[in-house]
Structure 1
Amino acid sequence: MALGSFGRVGRDLMIPVIDLHCDTLWRVFTYGGCFSSNDYHIDLQKLKAGGSAAQFFAAFIYMNERRRPVEDYRKDTYAMIERFNREIEENPGLAAASSRDDFERNKRNGMVSAFLTIEEGGIIESSQDLASLYDKNVRLITLTWNYPNSLGYPNIDWTYSGKGLTSLGRDIVSEMAHKGILVDVSHLSDAGFWDTADILQGPFLASHSCCRTLTHHPRNLTDKMIKAIADHHGVVGVNFSASFLGTGEKGTIEGIIAHMKHLKKTGGMDICALGSDFDGIFCPLEVKDYSGMPLLLTALKENGFTEEECEKIAFKNALRMIDYMGKEV
C-alpha cells in the first residue's frame, strides 16, 4: 500500500465520526489544559475538523496495584467526573450525552456529544458504587485496566489469561446490563471475556482493541472472541496504537485498515468501529490527531470499503451501541 496516496487535498471523505475511546479527560485532569484547545490528540477544534458527532471520554484511574485505599481512587474518579462536567459547561460546542435522545438533540443543535465512561472497574465494590456512577451519567465501563481488581483480571500479559470474573464482577456485569451501562471488555483477561459473554444475552463491546490473529498481543481479540461479540450484536473499536496494530514504532493507517478488514472478514461489517485510544497512546501516529479522521476514512474507501461500509465504521455501528444506553439488555 502506498502511504503517500493518502490525504490528497480536497478529496478526504467527510463522514460523521463516533470514537469509542480516548484518554483526553485524564490528560487534562492530570497534566492541565482544557477541552477547547490543547496540544493533545483531542480538543474541540480537532473534533470539529475531524467531523466528530460524538466522543467517548474515559475517566481513567491509575490504581497502581492498590497502593491506596479504593475509596481514594473512587474520590479521584468523582473529581475527574466533576472536571468533565466543568469542561462541558465551558465549551458550548460540546454537550454531555447519556442516551440516543441526547445524541440526536445535540446533533440538531450542531454540538458534539460527549459520553462519559470509566476505564478501571476496580473503583466498584458494591451495587451502590455502580448506581452512583449511573447517576453521574456513566454509560460505559471498562471492567479492568492493567491490574487485578474487584471485578476481574487484566490481559496486560498472559499471566492472568485463565482467570475470570470475580463473584462481584459477575454480579456487576449483570447489573450493568439491567441498567443499560455498556460492558467494555478491552483490557479484560481471556477467561473474563468468556465469563462476560456467558452472562450477557445482549450486546457488549471492546472499545479499543485489535485482532490477535494479525498481532499476537494479549490485549487483542482472538477470532472466536470477535465472533462472540458479533453474535451478541456488539462492536470492536480498532485501537490506533502501533503495539496492537503490529506496525513497529508508528501507528499506521495501513495497520488500521488491515485490522478493520480482518474484523469484517471474521465478524461481519456490523462489528467494525473506531476506538482510537487518542491521548492514551504514546507512539507516533499517522493519524496524528482527531483532525486526521477524514484521512483515515478516505484511505478505507480507497482500499476496498464502500462508502456505506465506511459509514458503519465511522458512526453507524457505534450509534447502535448508544441505542442500548439506559435500557435493559
Structure 2
Amino acid sequence: MFTIDAHLDLSMNALEWNRDLRRPVSELNAREAGLDDKPDRGRAVVSLPELRKGNIGLVVATQIARYVTPDNTLPGWHSPEQAWAQTQGQLAWYRAMEDAGEMVQIKDLEGLEKHVNLWLHELPWNTKPVGYILSLEGADSIVDISYLEKAYKSGLRALGLSHYGPGRYANGTDATGGLGPKGPELLREMERLNIILDATHLCDDSFWEAMDIFHGHVWASHNNCRELVDHNRQFSDEQLKILIERGAVIGGAMDAWMMVPGWQRGVSDPKAMDCNLEKLIDHMDHICQLAGNANHIGIGSDLDGGFGREQCPYDVESIADLQKIPDLLAKRGYAQKDIENVMFGNWLRFLKNAWKE
C-alpha cells in the first residue's frame, strides 16, 4: 500500500552519520561495523532503496540544527548563524539527491497530486524518486524573522518551534516555560506564509501558548500518547483533543521509549520489553477513541532519528516493514478505508486542505 511517513531525519543521517542513503541498509550497516561513535552504528533501518521497497513514496524530511547557550549541556551550535549554515548544508544534500534523480521536492498542490499519481499508477517502484516535504525541526536556526521567508523560498513547508530543551523561539521536550520573546512573531509570519506548525516537541506551556496565537494549519508529525507512556515528550489527552479539534493529524512514532513504559535507554531491549508494532497500534487506537474516528492518525516513524534497531520495534528489520501495519489495523477491526487513511489518506487530505489556498 502506498505510504506516507511524516518524519524522517534523512539529511542528518547523510551528513552527521555519514550514510550514503542511496545504498541498501545492509551496505550501510556493513560499512559501520566496528564503529561506536554513535549508539546505533550498524543498526540502521532507513535508506532510499528501503523506502521504495516499502512503497513509501512521500516523506516529510527534516533539517535540524540546535543553538545552545553556554549553560546548555545539550549538543548544538554556538550561534544561530552556525545553525543556519548547518541547515543549508542539509538542504544542499537534498538538492544533490534531486539532481541524482533519487528524490523530488514537493511544495505545492500541483506537485503533490502529480507525485502521488506517479507512485499510484506509473513506473516500477525501484525507479521512482522519493518525494519529500521539507520541514525544520526546531526553529533555532532561523537567525531572525526575515530568514523564514528565505527558508520558505527554498521549499520549507512545516516547522516545529522547538526540539529538546530550551529554544530561541519556544521551549521543548524536558523544558518548561512559554514561547520566547520572538516566538509569537515567528508564528504570525508562519501563518502569513502558510507554513504548517509542527506541534511535536513543544513543552506544555509553549504548546498551549502556540495554540492560542497560531491560527494556521497544525499537525504533530511524530508523537504518541502520554496516557500510555507518561512523559512530557508525549501529548496528554487534553492536548490530543485540541489537535483533533484543529484538524491535525498525529504521526505515530517508533522510538521504543515512547512506545512502552519503563524503557531505559542504552539498557532495555525491544524483545525483552515486548516492544513491537502492536504497541504503535495501541497509541494510534487511543487517539482514534478520543476522536471517535480514524481521521487523525498517520505514520511519523522517526526511524533512524538518532536510534536504530536497538531502540525500535523488534519486528522492524527495515523501514519497509511499515507494510505490516495494514494487517495489524485490520486485526483490530479497522475498515479498509480507515487503513488507507492511516497509511496515506489522512496526510494527503491534510496537505490538500492546507495547500488549496
Cα separation, 2, equivalents of 1:116 and 1:278? 17
Counterpart in the other structure of 1:20? 6
Letter in 1 for 2:338: E
SS at match of 1:208: coil
Cα separation, 1, equivalents of 2:193 and 2:66? 26
- Of 181-190 and 67-76, deviating more is 67-76
Q: Kindly report which structure 2 residues correspond to 1:123-272, keeping only aligned pairs within 5 A, or say none.
A: 123-155=141-173, 157=174, 159-160=175-176, 163-246=177-260, 248=263, 249-250=269-270, 251-267=275-291, 268-272=293-297
Q: What's the CA shift for 1:210?
A: 0.2
Gapped runs of 5+ residues in structure 1? 1-14
Q: Kindly report which structure 2 residues correspond to 1:74-85, keeping only aligned pairs within 5 A, or say none.
A: 74-85=84-95
After superposition, what is the alpha-carbon deviation per residue over 1:47-66, rounded to whole angstroms, capped at 9, x for unaligned? 12111131111112243546
Q: What's the CA shift for 1:172?
A: 1.0
Letter in 1 for 2:133: F
Aligned length: 309
TM-score of the superposition, structure 2-length normalised?
0.82
Q: What's the CA shift for 1:78?
A: 0.6
Cα separation, 2, equivalents of 1:279 and 1:121? 21
SS at match of 1:21: strand
Cα separation, 1, equivalents of 2:150 and 2:286? 38
TM-score of the superposition, structure 1-length normalised?
0.88
Letter in 1 for 2:14: V
User: Does residue 105 in structure 1 map to residue 105 in structure 2?
Assistant: no
- Of 281-290 and 133-142, deviating more is 281-290
SS at match of 1:118: strand
Counterpart in the other structure of 2:337? 308
Q: What's the CA shift for 1:326?
A: 5.2
Cα separation, 2, equivalents of 1:83 and 1:187? 25
- Contact kept? 1:287, 1:296, Cα under 8 Å: no
Letter in 2 for 1:314: M
- Of 110-119 and 211-220, deviating more is 110-119
SS at match of 2:104: strand
SS at match of 2:158: strand
SS at match of 2:221: strand
- Contact kept? 1:35, 1:87, Cα under 8 Å: no
Letter in 1 for 2:137: E
Q: CA RMSD in A?
A: 1.8
Q: 1:223–1:284: structure 2 CA closer, same or farther, 3 Å change rule? A: closer
Gapped runs of 5+ residues in structure 2? 26-43, 120-127, 264-268
Cα separation, 1, equivalents of 2:259 and 2:312? 13
- Contact kept? 1:142, 1:186, Cα under 8 Å: yes
- Contact kept? 2:77, 2:83, Cα under 8 Å: no
Cα separation, 2, equivalents of 1:232 and 1:202? 9
Instruction: Please identify runs of 4+ aligned residues in structure 1 that moved more than 4 A.
Output: 324-328
SS at match of 2:110: helix
Letter in 2 for 1:98: K
Counterpart in the other structure of 1:34? 20
- Contact kept? 1:150, 1:166, Cα under 8 Å: yes
> What percentage of aligned pairs have identical amino acids?
22
Q: What's the CA shift for 1:295?
A: 0.9
Letter in 2 for 1:258: D
After superposition, what is the alpha-carbon deviation per residue over 1:64-96, rounded to whole angstroms, capped at 9, x for unaligned? 54651110111111111011110122134x321
Letter in 2 for 1:257: I
Cα separation, 2, equivalents of 1:255 and 1:58? 25
Cα separation, 1, equivalents of 2:77 and 2:285? 41
User: Does residue 68 in structure 1 map to residue 97 in structure 2?
Assistant: no
Counterpart in the other structure of 1:8? none
- Contact kept? 2:23, 2:47, Cα under 8 Å: yes
SS at match of 2:162: coil
